[in-house]
Amino acid sequence: MTDAAPTLTFDTTLAERTAYEKEAIWLPAFVMSHMQAGKNLIDGKTFTDCLIEGPAVLFATDNVNFEGCNMGVTDDGRNLLLQTVGSKVTGVIPFANTRFVRCRFVGVGFTGHPDFLKQIAENLQINSGDKA
């Protein structure tokens, strides 16, 4: 290991806010800011017209809604979805009571209860990056 890589700094004020509008949200840094604030669950947020970037997998727990969102670039919406194998999860970013309004997701996968995955798979038309 030689040259220095960029060192991440996390904006801890992100965790205190509940509304985000027309912002670019890099999910890994976003969740780290919450974890540093002692919040392991991202709860009670509203994102409007935001760009939500991964790589990351969003774990939808309770009451997470997507309204007019572009879920990502793929020719098959199932490519955005991952099923849990066990009864617990690790490595994903848990959300609850959150609205995403007209947001665009890039490099973000989704997981959650089988009913949530079924809803996403059946109800969203995801065609090569077109609006879902």
Partner 1 sequence: MTDQTPPPAARKPMDPLAKTFSGGRFALFDLYRASVQAGGGIMIDGRAFTDCVIEGPALMLVLEGVHFASTNFGKTGGNMRNMLFQPMGDVGIGAIPVRNCTFTRCTFEAIGITGNETFLQDLIRQVPTVD
Are the CB atoms for 129 and 105 separated by under 8 Å? Answer: no
Beta bridge partners of 57: 109
Stretch of 13-21, 41-49, 60-68, 77-85 lying at the interface with partner 1 (CB under 8 A): 77-85
Instruction: Please identify which residue in the block is written with the tokens 């009571």.
Output: 97
Q: Which of residues 46-75 bind partner 1 (CB under 8 A)?
A: 54-58, 72, 74
Tell me: does residue 122 bind partner 1 (CB under 8 A): no
- Answer for which of 9, 13, 38, 87 binds partner 1 (CB under 8 A) is 87
What is the separation, in whole angstroms, between the first and last Cα of the chain?
43
Tell me: does residue 80 bind partner 1 (CB under 8 A): yes
The CB-of-103 to partner 1 minimum distance in angstroms stands at 15
Beta bridge partners of 66: 100
